[in-house]
Amino acid sequence: MNDSRTVHDSTSHDSRAHDTWVVIPLYNEGQVITDVIAQVRGAFDQVVCVDDGSMDDSAELAASAGARVVRHPFNLGQGAALQTGFDYALSDPTMKYVVTFDADGQHQIADAIGMVERLRVGEADVVFGSRFLDERSSPTLGKKLVLRAAVGYTNMTTHTRLTDAHNGLRAISRPVLKQIRITQNGMAHASELVAQIGASKASYVEHPVHILYSDYSKAKGQSLWNSINILAELILR
């Protein structure tokens, strides 16, 4: 019906989209989720939003934006939402790659495309997004210090070498995804994920990504106080 030369609507059948699922953990992001999904669906056909018991209309908005929506009956945490998304994607036998994407609009779809491309050419089994590989992202000094400390801790405990372990943008291939089992429901899941990938001996690379610190994501994002909670969850696991 419409001119789909530039717009990939739900009926477009370009092969690059059909083996990839984009997993978006969703919790009270009603303000931005429609735009985020529209942006993602411009490049990837298959989007699964895991609604983690949102109190606003996030789930309905995500569904009408064209995402499959899996709804947790109540809030479990971002780590639990990611694992639910992984389970969903794994139930699709044609899935080869999964991209994890944040719902608050801080990630760029171009970065995700580039990361899946690197999986596709066989460069690695996992591609981690890193905001510290170039100068495009500009976290505040406090945030930078916390993220550096977090990645230092993660590297130390998981025998991996990363520059940014707490980035929500990742691309993971199916064989690795099958081995991942996130048990940290809260925010410590990022380190747990890295640890499991490190233990699985999968090959990984980092991909420079641009984190857009909009006023919205800044207001919603992790406060510095929460980093203390993350640290505690990591140590007490």
Partner 1 sequence: MKIVLIQLVLIGFVILTAVRLLRHRGARTQAVRRVGLMLFAALAVWSILFPSVWNRIARIVGVGRGTDMVLYALVVAFLSFTLTTYLRFRDLEARYTKLARRLALDEVGLPHQSETVPERQEQPYAGS
Q: Which residues bind partner 1 (CB under 8 A)?
A: 21, 46, 48, 50, 63-64, 68-74, 76, 80, 83-84, 87-89, 91-92, 94-95, 183, 185, 236
Q: Which residues pair with 204 in a beta bridge?
A: 126
Query: To the nearest whole angstrom, how small is the minimum distance from the Cβ of residue 93 to partner 1?
Result: 9
Closest CB to partner 1 among residues 25, 129: 25
Closest CB to partner 1 among residues 103, 209: 103
Closest CB to partner 1 among residues 68, 144: 68
Closest CB to partner 1 among residues 160, 185: 185
Closest C-alpha among 203, 206, 182 to residue 192: 182
Query: To the nearest whole angstrom, how small is the minimum distance from the Cβ of residue 81 to partner 1?
Result: 9
Query: To the nearest whole angstrom, how small is the minimum distance from the Cβ of residue 103 to partner 1?
Result: 16
Query: To the nearest whole angstrom, how small is the minimum distance from the Cβ of residue 43 to partner 1?
Result: 18
Closest CB to partner 1 among residues 87, 117: 87
Query: To the nearest whole angstrom, how small is the minimum distance from the Cβ of residue 27 to partner 1?
Result: 14
Q: Is the dihedral of CA 6, 207, 181, 74 positive or negative?
A: negative
Closest C-alpha among 156, 154, 210, 158 to residue 187: 154
Closest CB to partner 1 among residues 64, 203: 64
Query: To the nearest whole angstrom, how small is the minimum distance from the Cβ of residue 59 to partner 1?
Result: 9
Closest CB to partner 1 among residues 63, 212: 63
Provide φ and ψ at 38, rounded to 5°.
-60, -45
Query: To the nearest whole angstrom, how small is the minimum distance from the Cβ of residue 92 to partner 1?
Result: 4
